[in-house]
């Protein structure tokens, strides 16, 4: 019998890393669909955490603990999601730009794409411009995601786009950018294709963009 997935959300919100891993295992054993565990358990839980954080009801150490719990559950779900028919949406290379060590938002965005069936190559934080270009050449994604949380590191995003142009591979991918100080206007200025204000909307924004491209 499928599990009541609000239990998963609650465990995530409580930041219980081991408890959430155990519950995720139990859900899989009770034949709950891995996509449902993600979409109706983990993601609503993480949305709730994000909202509480914005409202000032939750503080950073707690948010980090919840993100760690989410990550532990995703380690268990990832192979199951890959086995299910969710594995064909595309490939995303994602990283945080040079000089920037913030990764919580980037990892959330990565998880959302993973949950939506993308193959995700997360190249990590503080990545020099050339590493983005290298990863695009190597993995041939259809989407490149960049994250910046500091106003001082935002310009790296435009530089990466220029490097992609110089390498002659800009047209092969769509570029999506995000991070608290990043705006739609800034995305336009640097020639990024897409901007998402949060991880939850990023997948839909990309989907819509690719559907328009096909049409």
Q: Which residues bind ligand B12 (CB under 6 A)?
A: 50, 60, 94, 99-106, 108-109, 145-147, 149-152, 176-181, 196, 198-199, 202
Minimum distance of ligand B12 from residue 186's CB (angstroms): 12
Q: Which CB, 86 or 192, lies closer to ligand B12?
A: 192
Phi-psi region of 168 (alpha: psi -120 to 50; beta: other; left: phi over 0): left
* Beta carbon nearer to ligand B12, 27 or 44: 44
Q: Which CB atom, from 3 or from 164, has the smaller least distance to ligand B12?
A: 164
Burial per residue of 37-56, b for 16 or more beta-carbon CB atoms within 10 angstroms, e otherwise? bbebbbbbbbebbbebbeee
Kindly state the smallest distance separating residue 94's Cβ from ligand B12, in Å: 6
Rounded-to-integer distance, Cα 131 and Cα 159, Å: 12
d(CA 215, CA 142): 17
In this structure, which long-range contacts are made by residues 192-196, counting pairs with CB atoms below 8 Å and at least 24 apart in sequence? 192/146, 192/157, 192/161, 196/109
Name beta bridge partners: 174: 143
- Name the minimum Å distance from CB 26 to ligand B12: 27
Query: Looking at beta carbons only, is 86 or 109 nearer to ligand B12?
Result: 109
Taking each continuous run of H as one helix and of E as one strand, the counts in the chain are 10, 5
Give me the least distance between CB of 187 and ligand B12, in Å please: 10
Residue 190 or 199 having the CB closest to ligand B12: 199
Least distance in angstroms from the C-beta of 209 to ligand B12 = 12
At which residue do the structure tokens 């001082």 appear? 152
Residue with smallest beta-carbon separation from ligand B12: 105
Residues 6+ apart with CB under 8 A from 4: none
The label of the residue with tokens 């034949």 reads 31
As measured in angstroms, the least distance from the Cβ of 211 to ligand B12 is: 17
Nearer to ligand B12, 27 or 109 (CB): 109
């Amino acid at each position: 019998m499928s599990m009541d997935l609000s239990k998963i959300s609650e465990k995530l919100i409580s930041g219980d890393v081991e408890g959430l891993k155990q519950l995720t295992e139990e859900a899989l054993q009770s034949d709950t669909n891995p996509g449902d565990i993600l979409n109706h358990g983990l993601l609503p839980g993480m949305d709730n955490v994000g909202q509480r954080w914005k409202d000032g009801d939750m503080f950073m150490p707690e948010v980090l603990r919840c993100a760690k719990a989410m990550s532990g559950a995703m380690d268990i779900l990832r192979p199951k999601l890959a086995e299910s028919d969710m594995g064909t949406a595309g490939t995303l290379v994602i990283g945080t730009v040079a000089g920037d060590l913030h990764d919580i938002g980037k990892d959330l965005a990565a998880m959302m794409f993973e949950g939506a069936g993308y193959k995700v190559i997360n190249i990590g934080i503080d990545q020099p411009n050339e590493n983005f270009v290298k990863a695009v050449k190597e993995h041939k994604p259809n989407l490149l995601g960049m994250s910046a949380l500091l106003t001082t590191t935002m310009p790296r995003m435009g530089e990466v786009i220029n490097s992609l142009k110089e390498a002659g591979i800009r047209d092969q991918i769509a570029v999506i950018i995000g991070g608290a100080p990043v705006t739609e206007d800034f995305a336009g200025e640097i020639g990024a294709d897409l901007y998402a204000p949060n991880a939850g909307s990023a997948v839909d924004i990309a989907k819509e963009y690719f559907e328009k491209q096909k049409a």
